[in-house]
């Protein structure tokens, strides 16, 4: 889960004295705490949060969260396993919304990643469950894989007032297509890009040389250069160097461990990204139809491989969650 602190962007571009790194970073960006523990939500007092089936699977195996799983299965024993999972996701989301003032993200089944209508139906169903629980759709983001089919589903959902968080995003064509579709937010994965390049080249990367950092900077600059309102939330960090290099990004999602490291350091943090600086970038606006999107993504070996891998992993965890539920029926 990702838990979000809202901070006011400061126009300053120089390090702020007498603050730890986390406090400095909050002057430039919205800080996101990445955790599946309700206690951490309360401790960090975040504004927004996000879930996915992998994090729900991890959570419901803990003693403190098993009662939520057992009650959901018991209360809806006559429904399909897929419907019970939807209800479980919404139960978790509703509980989180009791703690936070902002939005919660709830993910669609990764097995629908190449099914546009299936994703649309799932998004509508999840929103209907939230609204039945008395939660306005404005407080929910539907999380969808950034495939061509997922992006088309998001375009339809956004027109219906169902806001979307586009995940498993590794390449610029994905980001451009998401913005053109009017997606509310994207989650480019810094750490997984770093992992791929490190494995591919055998090199270590740090700071501005990190390929994951460069990818998010490129996307952020493109969006601001051409006036897209879609929010950029850097995700999947491996170290604080990656985080510091993206100071100024709209949102950054950071694990509790890395948040603590930032809080324990008083090293200076300078803003690295800004809408103003993006205006001077030498970029050409691209128009992507389906053929161009698929061709560009296919040319990006990292993006293609990590997208496929991410979908497989989320699908596997969805199956594990189904088995866990079936064992309780």
Q: Which residue has tokens 């803003």?
A: 271
- Cα(90)–Cα(63) distance, rounded to whole angstroms? 19
Strand partners, 4: 32, 48
**Which residue in 42, 66, 122, 143 is the catalytic one?**
143
Q: To which residue do tokens 């498993």 refer?
A: 168
- Cα 133–Cα 251–Cα 45 angle in degrees, nearest 5: 55
β-bridge pairing 185-188 and 231-234: parallel
Cite the DSSP H helix spans in the chain: 21-26, 38-44, 53-60, 66-75, 81-97, 116-132, 148-159, 172-180, 190-201, 211-225, 240-244, 256-264, 275-278, 290-299, 301-326
71 is catalytic: no
The string over 104-136, giving b where at least 16 C-beta atoms fall within 10 Å of a residue's C-beta and e elsewhere, is: bbbbbbbebbebbebbbebbeebbebbeeeebe
CA-CA distance, 213 to 168, in Å (whole number)? 16
Place of tokens 């375009």: 155
210: helix, coil or strand?
A: coil
Q: Are strands 163-169 and 140-145 parallel, antiparallel or unpaired?
A: parallel
Catalytic residues: 143
């Amino acid at each position: 889960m990702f838990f979000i602190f809202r901070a006011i962007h400061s126009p300053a571009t120089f390090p702020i004295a007498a603050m730890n790194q986390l406090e400095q970073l909050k002057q430039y960006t919205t800080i996101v705490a990445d955790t599946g523990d309700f206690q951490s939500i309360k401790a960090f007092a975040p504004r927004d949060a996000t879930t996915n089936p992998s994090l729900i699977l991890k959570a419901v195996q803990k003693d403190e969260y098993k009662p939520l799983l057992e009650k959901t299965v018991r209360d809806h024993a006559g429904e399909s396993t897929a419907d019970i999972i939807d209800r479980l996701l919404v139960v978790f989301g509703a509980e989180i919304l009791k703690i936070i003032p902002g939005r919660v993200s709830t993910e669609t089944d990764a097995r629908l990643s190449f099914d546009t209508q299936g994703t649309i139906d799932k998004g509508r169903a999840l929103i209907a469950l939230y609204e039945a629980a008395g939660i306005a759709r404005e407080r929910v983001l539907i999380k969808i894989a950034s495939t061509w089919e997922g992006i088309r589903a998001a375009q339809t959902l956004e027109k219906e007032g169902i806001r979307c968080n586009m995940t498993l995003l590794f390449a610029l064509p994905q980001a451009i297509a998401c913005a053109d579709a009017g997606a509310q937010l994207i989650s480019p994965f810094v750490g997984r890009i770093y992992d791929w390049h490190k494995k591919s080249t055998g090199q270590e990367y740090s700071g501005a040389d990190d390929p994951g950092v460069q990818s998010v900077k490129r996307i952020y600059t493109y969006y601001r250069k051409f006036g897209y309102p879609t929010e950029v939330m850097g995700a999947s960090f491996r170290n604080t160097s990656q985080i510091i290099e993206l100071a100024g990004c709209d949102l950054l999602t950071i694990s509790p461990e890395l948040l603590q490291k930032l809080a324990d350091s008083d090293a200076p943090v300078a803003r690295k990204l800004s809408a103003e600086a993006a205006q001077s970038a030498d970029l050409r606006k691209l128009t992507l139809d389906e053929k161009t999107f698929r061709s560009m993504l296919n040319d990006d070996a990292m993006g293609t491989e990590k997208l496929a891998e991410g979908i497989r992993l989320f699908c596997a965890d969805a199956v594990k969650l189904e088995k866990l539920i079936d064992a309780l029926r």
